[in-house]
Structures are given as C-alpha cells and as structure tokens.
C-alpha cells in the first residue's frame, strides 16, 4: 500500500492505495465520489472522464499514484460555488442532452475540456471531439446542441438528425 495525496474538487485528500488502483476506483471507492462512472473498463466509453491538472483524462486508464500531487476535478466539482449548475450542466438540462444519464458526467467533463481549448467550436468539431465518449440513448444531437449553447452559440442552425 502506498499513500497518495492530491487535490480533488478544490480540497486536499489522501488515502492508501495499492499500486494497481485506478484513479476512478480511488475517486469512487476511496473518496465516495460516485459521479464518475465506470462503463467499459477499456477506455472506450468516456463515462469516467475527469480533469487532471486541467486536462481531460479517462480515469480508468490512470493509476491513482499517477495523480500524486495533481489537481483533479470530477463532475461533483463542476457546479458553481453556490451549488447551482455550471453553464455546461445547465445547457445539458435545458437542451435535453441526457436521457439515462450514465454517460452524462463524462460528456460534461469532455465538453468542459473542449470549451476550455476552443470556446466556440463548430458542430463538426464538437462531434469529432466526442468520438471518445459513447452515449447509447441520445444519438448525440441534443448533446451537441447543449455544448453549442454552453459556448454561447445559436443552436437553431444545428440540423436535425
């Protein structure tokens, strides 16, 4: 067992982990932050996306020890300080960018990373960026609309699928 320390959602945390403990396991089981989902265990679905030092990372592909000293943000850390939904979360709600909700945390985290890098992405850029996130319910149309709305763009131009 090894001690690991990091900042998660703005607060310092630490815990004992085995060398093979994945970051997603540490977040969910060690810290009780269950918003980060495990969907496939093969890094294909994107349900486990978190931000590590400002970079979107599939937390099922990273050992907890690799996050030693890092700044980690999970879906629980995306809300505003007053507890209200972030712009991205609100856009997902307003534009029905979720159905069952299983993929939503990873989608929101990926969307936040995209908008940090490209504040006004095109529809094609959003769709390309989300290729690493799988949604089995929505068909992505409303997810794309939500991300465009969060970026302050007019969503009426998005063609129906």
Domains contained in the chain, CATH given: 2-77 (3.10.20.30), 87-150 (1.10.150.120)
- The predicted model scores a pTM of 0.93
Cβ-proximal residues to 72 (8 Å cutoff; 6+ apart), any chain: 6, 7, 8, 9, 23, 27, 50, 51, 52
- Average pLDDT on 110-132 reads 96
Q: Looking at residue 156, what is its pLDDT?
A: 79
Mean pLDDT of 124-138: 92
- Cross-sheet strand order for the sheet of 49-52: 11-17, 2-8, 71-73, 49-52, 55-58
pLDDT tops 70 at residue 160: no
Q: Residue 158 — very low, low, confident or very high, per pLDDT cuts 50/70/90?
A: confident
pLDDT for residue 154 is more than 60: yes
% of the chain beyond a pLDDT of 90: 86
Burial call 89-126: b when 16+ CB within 10 Å, e when fewer: bebbeebebbeeebbbbbbbbbbbbbbeeeeebebeeb
Higher-pLDDT residue of 42 and 111 is 111
**The dihedral sign for the CA sequence 113, 118, 119, 123:** negative
């Amino acid at each position: 067992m090894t001690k690991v320390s990091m900042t998660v959602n703005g607060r310092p945390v630490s815990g004992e982990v085995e060398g093979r403990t994945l970051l997603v396991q540490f977040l969910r089981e060690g810290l009780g932050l269950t918003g980060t989902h495990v969907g496939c265990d093969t890094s294909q679905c994107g349900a486990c996306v978190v931000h590590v030092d400002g970079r979107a990372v599939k937390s099922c592909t990273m050992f907890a020890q690799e996050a030693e000293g890092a700044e980690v943000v999970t879906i629980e850390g995306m809300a505003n300080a007053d507890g209200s939904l972030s712009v991205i979360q609100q856009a997902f709600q307003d534009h029905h960018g979720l159905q069952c909700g299983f993929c939503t945390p990873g989608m929101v985290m990926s969307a936040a990373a995209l908008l940090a890098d490209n504040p006004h992405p095109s529809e094609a850029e959003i769709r390309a960026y989300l290729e690493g996130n799988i949604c089995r319910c929505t068909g992505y149309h409303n997810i794309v609309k939500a991300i465009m709305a969060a970026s302050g763009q007019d969503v009426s131009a998005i063609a129906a699928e």
